[in-house]
């Protein structure tokens, strides 16, 4: 695996950690439940640490934008699917636009290399 591929893998695991932290935040009930609260803190810390490692090889702007977009889209979908959050065509369009922006950023990066 190339260093660049490793960096993208680290970023992907960072997204997973951030999403798990967000789910833990939901279960923590305002940090009043110790186990989900601890899970949230650990997951968020891991997410930031892994992203820091990924930015050794990836451009910071691309890495952060990719991380934020992927985390936002995944968290929104999990909210709809697992927590019965409201869904509307506008919300789905927002998720789709977020994914499109992520693809465009990465295609733009690929075009410069």
Do 57 and 4 form a contact (C-beta atoms < 8 A)? yes
Q: Band of the pLDDT at 113, cuts 50, 70, 90?
A: low
Q: Where are the domains of the chain?
A: 3-111
- Nearest CA to 26 out of 76, 68, 94, 83 is that of 83
**Tens digits of residue pLDDT in 19-63:** 999 999 999 999 999 999 999 999 999 999 999 999 999 999 899
Give the residue with greater pLDDT, 38 vs 102.
38
């Amino acid at each position: 695996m190339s260093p660049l591929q490793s960096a993208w893998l680290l970023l992907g695991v960072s997204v997973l950690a951030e999403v798990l932290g967000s789910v833990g935040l939901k279960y923590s009930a305002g940090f009043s439940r110790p186990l989900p609260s601890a899970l949230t803190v650990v997951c968020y810390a891991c997410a930031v640490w892994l992203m820091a490692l990924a930015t050794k090889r990836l451009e910071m702007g691309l890495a952060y934008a990719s991380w934020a977009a992927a985390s936002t889209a995944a968290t929104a979908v999990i909210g709809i699917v697992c927590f019965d959050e409201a869904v509307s065509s506008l919300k789905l369009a927002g998720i789709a636009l977020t994914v499109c922006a992520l693809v465009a950023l990465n295609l733009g990066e690929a075009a410069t290399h």
